[in-house]
Amino acid sequence: MNQSFSAQRTQTLRRLTETDLDLLVIGGGITGSGIARDAAMRGLRTGLVDRHDFAFGTSSRSSRLLHGGLRYLEQGRVGLVREASLEKKILRDIAPHLGDPLGFVFPAYRKNGRPLWQLRIGVKLYDLLCNGRNFSPSRGFNEAETLALLPGLNRDGLLGAVRYFDALTNDARLTLDTLRSAARHDATLANYTRFTGATREAAGWRCQLEDQLTGAALTVRTRTLVNATGPWAEGLGLSAVKLRLSKGIHVVIDRRHLPVTDAVVLTEGKRILFVIPWGERLIVGTTDTDYEGPPENVAVEPADIAYVLRSLKGTFPALKLTESDIISTWAGLRPLIANPDGSPSDISRAHQIRCPQPAWWDVSGGKLTTYRLMAEQTVDQLARHIGRPTTPCRTADEPLLPEVETAFSGIQPPPFGQEALLHYMGKEWAVTLVDVMLRRSGWHYYHPDASAKAEQVADWMSQHAGWSQARRTAELAAYHEATGVRPLRTATG
């Protein structure tokens, strides 16, 4: 480990163990990061730990949309849609570098059970739920206009289309920038630090942590604890959460295959998939299949890819796509709230904040788009419990980061180079090659020659972090294992 990084980390872990915290957040996905930011901004002494890297879980494996969830209108869940619609606009305001308004063209077919008139009403209502001011107003198209917008679209039974607006974000970057904001407000944040248990004390909790880089055991004292461990939430000793995990995968292909300017909504019966323009690429997904097993093991299976490609070709029949056209993929788990017997709950797409025992909160469900609101509601509750006056919540008004701090953050990856790498290593807690390639930069997902880029980054990291040849080899092996990408050449040493 490089001197300055190891000194920084030692200092962070010492600070965690030496401070009497008001709040320790377990889990550095978007949920935990939002809570840490809000709590720190209100003046609470805040710590956060993640057993893996920050954003390792669902928060780097989503569809990357800030959205109200048009499809939930179909189920009459107007309150849920309104809540998320207002939040998507707040996030775009506080983090414009991570919110790009995007049109979604939703074709209507005679056979798919969603009549065009119903879609036209739906998107108007969707606009109204953003206080009447969505990013841009929705509109309808007749058949000819739709075909002009989406050349190559399946015209069999086509009635027309509607277009509504949501925004594209970058989930991992949103999480990391939220954490950077929390750190600027004095929160103490440690990745690769696992929460292993806690015992009650008069003033709160005595927590046991394990440093995943050295194996060292640590003890931390805190008044309150928040379990924000997403798909892992059920497994945490004191948790009262009951989840149903649902897997969703995405594939990335080159945009030249389908040069659309708007996103496209694909329908498979009641199911919906998106084709999302992302710079020179397209993101296509997602699936929705029940998942059992350790969250760490979630993976893209050949059947998932076949399903996504089949849906895409169903809507654009002339498209000649094979698996070899896929640049990258990812698989994630939706931590949906379940009934106590494990069956899907009515509120499965909403969030839940529960305090099953004094000074312990389980915060689960919800989505990327509503993370700020979930955090506000959680911190309101725990600030009341702590009983010390705090400043009011300011997360809806204060920019996530000053503009000058966002040079290496955005929806698309930054230019490939050492400047970005040094920033990630020095200012964003990047420890491994995977941290840099997947979550900090996104280079892995974007570039067809990601494998060669990983070799180059491994060389740079060896130089800057003082890695041995054996460490470099191990880092590349871990990268290939995490991404399912075959090594470019056999690493030596």
Ligand X SMILES: Cc1cc2nc3c(=O)[nH]c(=O)nc-3n(C[C@H](O)[C@H](O)[C@H](O)COP(=O)(O)OP(=O)(O)OC[C@H]3O[C@@H](n4cnc5c(N)ncnc54)[C@H](O)[C@@H]3O)c2cc1C
CA distances from 199 to 222, 254, 382 (A): 11, 52, 18
Scanning 94-102, 340-348, 360-368, 387-395 for contacts with ligand X by CB under 6 A, the matching segment is 360-368
Residue 52 near ligand X by CB under 6 A: yes
Neighbours of 227 (CB within 10 A): 27
Tell me: does residue 58 bind ligand X (CB under 6 A). yes
Candidate ranges 54-62, 214-222, 450-458, 472-480; the one touching ligand X (CB under 6 A) = 54-62
> Is beta strand 281-285 parallel, antiparallel or unpaired with respect to 158-168?
unpaired
* C-beta closer to ligand X: residue 231 or 277: 231
Does 334 participate in binding ligand X (rule CB under 6 A)? yes
Which of 9, 21, 24, 31 touches ligand X (CB under 6 A)?
31
CB 211 to ligand X: min, Å:
12
Which of 122, 140, 230, 442 binds ligand X (CB under 6 A)? It is 230
CA distance 170 to 141: 30
474, two tokens: 């191990």
Which residue spans within 61-157 are E strands per DSSP? 65-66, 100-109, 139-142
Q: How far is the CB of 478 from ligand X (least distance, A)?
A: 16
Query: For residues 284-313, which are near ligand X according to CB under 6 A?
Result: 286
The minimum distance between CB 245 and ligand X, in angstroms, equals 9
Q: Are the C-beta atoms of residues 193 and 211 closer than 8 Å to each other?
A: yes
Residue number, 91 or 433, with CB nearest to ligand X: 91
Q: Are the C-beta atoms of 375 and 396 separated by less than 8 Å?
A: no
Residue 412: is it exposed, middle or buried by C-beta count within 10 angstroms (0-12/13-18/19+)?
middle
Q: Which of 47, 103, 122, 248 binds ligand X (CB under 6 A)?
A: 248
Q: Is 51 in the site for ligand X (CB under 6 A)?
A: yes
29 interacts with ligand X by CB under 6 A: yes
68 binds ligand X (CB under 6 A): no
* Residue 65 binds ligand X (CB under 6 A): yes
Match 């690769």 to its residue by tokens: 192
Residues 6+ apart with CB under 8 A from 205: 24, 198, 199, 221, 222, 223, 224, 225, 359, 360
Binding site for ligand X (CB under 6 A): 26-32, 49-52, 56-59, 61-65, 67, 194-195, 228-232, 236, 248, 286, 332-335, 366-369
